[in-house]
């Protein structure tokens, strides 16, 4: 039987009326032409939707009142809606987005001194089944559309009153395997990076994969694409296959070889996210294997010390250093008592080892953990969604 990620994920049901949210410029032009308007009105809609982030037709004041009324009557503007927001003590806010079909996904807004970072979801649930990840335990319900991906950005920036000029970083480290939804992801990427729209530079957008080699190869073929991160989390096939089933299809050798072939631009590096679990993934031998893996292509390493949380066990899914709840004590993990954070001295020793090996390494701490907003903690109860 094929693994679930080898099959296309289900898509959202199409709307009865046309929906302008998430459409590209060419589609918006076609839409206005179908309403008997000149094509250049499509550019006005594009600017309104993505530069000004207007979410209601009455905000489109450059259009005539008559046209706004017609749009209101015949075209939807269906962005995901924030239905719950939980601020964390560290300044991050976890948001729950309601989609048109009633399903929900989550994203996290993380303000820093000179930028903001938004953690986004790419699917409702996930097919990859990583044992440490709460989202993975849901299974895959469906892909998010380009509108639902872009809409998370629009909604979070509007909610927080994002001031013009503050750089925005996007990380696809929320619910879902982004490379399992590559078509919608790249459609969203085109809108997010368009200089006449949200104008987010491509280098500020990072897609984190669990190691879906077919998706890595496909994304590498795009002339303009996001940056790539890999949620590595283990340095032996035995260990990785236990916690990340995708490794049984593409093992560490296949992964390193695919990353070695990935066409990087000058100065670009692939980020390796590695969660440190005491006694499981934090040995010096792990550090040496991690160094050997990372040296095979231009890379930078983020070490993410595991942080315990509600549920007592877990690691993180897509790299920003979160932790998944209610991990079934993974075989080989501390059966029955979950995972533990590494000793600070060991974190320092591993950092030193990797730096001595000539690698770029940093230690990342998760944000938003007190509201279960760290990656891998993003899960909506599927039983309440259908």
Q: Which is nearer to ligand SF4, 10 or 201 (CB)?
A: 10
Which helix (H) or strand (E) segment is 146 a member of?
helix 146-159
Q: How far is the CB of 102 from ligand SF4 (least distance, A)?
A: 21
What is the contact surface with ligand SF4 in residues (CB under 6 A)? 126, 128-130, 133, 135-136, 175-177, 210, 317-318, 376
By the 8 A CB rule, do 298 and 264 touch?
yes
- Minimum CB separation from ligand SF4 for residue 128, in Å? 4
Q: How far apart are CA 311 and CA 325, in angstroms?
A: 5
In the complex with ligand SF4, which residue's Cβ is closer, 240 or 318?
A: 318
Please identify, using beta-carbon distances, which residue of 67 and 127 lies nearer to ligand SF4.
127
d(CA 194, CA 202): 9
Does the active-site annotation cover 106?
yes
For 126, left (φ over 0), alpha (ψ -120 to 50), or beta?
beta
Site of tokens 């279960």:
372
Q: Which of 385, 379, 334, 382 is closest to 133 using CA atoms?
A: 379
Cβ 311 to ligand SF4 shortest distance, Å: 15
Question: Rounded to the nearest whole angstrom, what is the least distance from the CB of residue 291 to ligand SF4 in the complex?
Answer: 23
Q: How far is CA 218 from the centre of its chain?
A: 17
Q: CA torsion sign, 353 to 355 to 359 to 365?
A: positive
Q: CA-CA distances (angstroms) from residue 12 to 21, 100, 143, 184? A: 14, 9, 7, 11
Nearer to ligand SF4, 49 or 230 (CB): 230
Among 106, 148, 273, 316, the active-site one is 106
Residue 88 vs 231, nearer CB to ligand SF4: 231
Smallest gap, in angstroms, from Cβ of residue 196 to ligand SF4? 32
CA 56-59-65 angle, 5° bins: 105
Look up 268 and say whether it is catalytic: no
SS3 67: helix
- Which residues belong to the active site? 106, 375
């Amino acid at each position: 039987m094929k693994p679930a990620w080898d099959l296309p994920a289900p898509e959202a049901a199409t709307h009865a009326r046309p929906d302008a949210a998430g459409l590209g410029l060419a589609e918006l032009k076609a839409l206005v032409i179908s309403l008997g308007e000149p094509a250049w009105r499509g550019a006005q809609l594009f600017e309104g939707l993505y530069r000004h982030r207007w979410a209601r037709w009455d905000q489109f004041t450059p259009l005539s009142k008559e046209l706004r009324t017609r749009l209101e009557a015949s075209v939807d503007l269906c962005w995901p809606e924030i239905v719950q927001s939980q601020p964390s003590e560290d300044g991050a806010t976890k948001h729950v987005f309601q989609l048109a079909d009633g399903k929900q996904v989550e994203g996290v807004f993380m303000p820093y001194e000179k930028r903001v970072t938004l953690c986004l979801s790419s699917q409702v649930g996930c097919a990859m089944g990583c044992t440490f990840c709460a989202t993975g335990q849901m299974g895959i319900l469906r892909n998010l559309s380009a509108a639902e991906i872009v809409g998370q950005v629009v909604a979070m920036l509007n909610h927080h009153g994002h001031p013009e000029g503050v750089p925005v970083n996007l990380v696809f480290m929320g619910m879902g395997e982004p490379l399992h939804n590559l078509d919608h992801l790249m459609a969203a990427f085109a809108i997010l990076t368009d200089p006449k729209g949200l104008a987010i530079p491509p280098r500020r957008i990072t897609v984190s994969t669990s190691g879906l080699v077919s998706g890595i190869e496909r994304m590498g073929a795009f002339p303009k694409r996001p940056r790539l991160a890999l949620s590595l989390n283990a340095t032996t096939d035995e260990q990785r296959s236990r916690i990340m089933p995708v490794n049984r299809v593409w093992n560490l050798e296949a992964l390193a070889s695919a990353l070695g072939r990935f066409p990087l631009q000058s100065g670009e590096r692939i980020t390796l996210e590695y969660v440190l679990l005491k006694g499981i993934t934090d040995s010096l031998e792990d550090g040496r294997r991690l160094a050997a893996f990372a040296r095979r292509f231009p890379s930078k390493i983020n070490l993410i010390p595991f942080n315990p949380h509600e549920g007592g066990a877990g690691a993180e899914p897509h790299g920003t250093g979160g932790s998944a709840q209610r991990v079934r004590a993974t075989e080989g993990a501390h059966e029955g008592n979950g995972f533990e954070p590494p000793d600070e001295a060991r974190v320092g020793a591993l950092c030193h080892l990797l730096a001595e090996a000539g690698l770029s390494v940093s230690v990342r701490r998760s944000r938003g953990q007190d509201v279960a907003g760290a990656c891998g903690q993003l899960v909506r109860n599927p039983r309440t969604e259908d």
